[in-house]
Structure 1
Amino acid sequence: MFEDRHGRRANGLAGFCAALGLVALLGGCANMDQQQTQPQQPQPDTSANSGSANGAGNNAAPAVSAPVTRTVTKTSYVRVRRGDTLARIAQNQGVSVKDLAAWNKLKPASKLRAGQSIKLVSTQTITVQAAAPQAGGASGANAADAREVAAEVSRHANSVALVWPARGHVVEPFAPGETRGIEIGGKSGDPVIAAADGKVMYAGTGLNEYGSLIIVQHNKDFLTAYSHNRRLLVKTGDTVHQGQQIAEMGSESNDRVAVLFEVRRDGKPVDPMPYLPTPQS
């Protein structure tokens, strides 16, 4: 059965775009030229298994641009325990009651429910870098494979055939206007796989609410997103295949270990369940 969570409501397409700064990608991702991807995206960790995951065994690590230091906003959550108040949580977390109430759109004297999630916002300095074009290009097989996926990405489609991005139970279902997708629970480090062939349009960390995030475009109309990962195994611009491991499950900017899996059609969140095989047992 599904597990409900209090206090976690999606901000919809506007919030998604604001958090990522990728309005063009989500509103019409197929029309965005590769050169339009953000030049200062965080670089995912591509060591260990990334070569085998791509199935081609890259001979050299991708070149990267010079690292850039940025200050980002980080969101995390704490679960309310019986007897907790905003004042007690604020004291435990080293923040002011006023800020805590504002982050959660509550009054300082608001009563809390056991099990409710309370948002914490902080700023932190991170070092980010973007992948640079590989010198010499890809091998013939890789280039042909990339062209095939690129051709599919450039086509319009009425649907997309997906596989489950992780093993585990759905711990939060899709609710139109309330949630962005479904959450699939698991253990830290569990594989997160590409639900279909496509091109990685974004892979990075430090973005508000999403934690470590991967966005894969499958065709002109559909893309999928995978959030809260512990570790990313692909980078922006990679070609991925259905069933390929792209990340390790985690709890980045989340209050439990799970992958938030989104399906977006023309930039709008839709229920992933009709696009997936029979629910996992």
Structure 2
Amino acid sequence: MNMSRSLVAWACVASAAALLAGCGSTSVNRAPVEDRGTSAGAAQGSAETGTPAIDPKTLPGYENMGKPGYYTVKPGDTLIRIGLEHGQSWKDIARWSNLENANVIEVGQVLRVIPPGASAESGAVTRPVASAGVPASAPAPSASTPKASASAPVASAPVPAPVPAPAPAPAAGSDEMNFMWPANGSLVAGFDEARNKGYDISGKAGDPVLAAADGRVVYAGAGLRGYGNLIILKHNNTFLTAYAHNQTLLVKEDQNVRKGQKIAEMGSTDTDRVKLHFEIRRQGKPVDPSRYLPSR
């Protein structure tokens, strides 16, 4: 009898312990993406998971799905990564997409990734241009306009001296970039489109990390997995540069920086050794830095 009571008590204790263990296993790390289902997964939601299916037409921006200049959010996406891969500031994407909370985006949601009024191919904003040599406000001649008499003397208008045309300013998306090396260390890993999207440059903790060209800080933080403490600079409508694994960040978002300015100190955040991971991205796509950096 005592043996039976002991076994029952032991079973109750084991069950309680298992229940407590299950309650303590909740993950606290959650990406800022809410998965409400996509057009494929939502249709099966009710049958397989017991949750109601999500109509993709209810997701924000659905009417723009598939259009040039728009992006449909996938599982694991963050605004920072979407901005990096489309050559834009995550803040700009949030504003163009009218996001109420930039920290929460939904799988299947459609975001605008080019400026309003820009072409999807170049990202440059297009504006109407008046015909050269004709003032936009000049009235068109009408039938009621009196003509000059054939016998009336007509004074000849003075011919203006030719004015030399000003040198054209470089286009906002010009490929004529003059980058410099962002660190003085040796190259320890080169560009590989599949495995390494930039250069890895060696150094000691605290070594200076320099801006490779003039630009604006569009991201400074540690919100992109695999990059550690990261800085992203936007140089024009075509180019971004990224500087990863820093131990200290010395600039803030929306700050303008000059070429050669110290923007960070080298470190080993989110990697196994002290190094700078440096990327050049053309319209969001990683390119081989050797095409743009001077030889040394």
TM-score (norm 1): 0.49
Determine which structure has greater relative contact order: mean sequence separation of CA pairs < 8 Å that are 6+ residues apart, divided by chain length.
1
Larger radius of gyration, structure 1 or 2?
2
TM-score (norm 2): 0.47
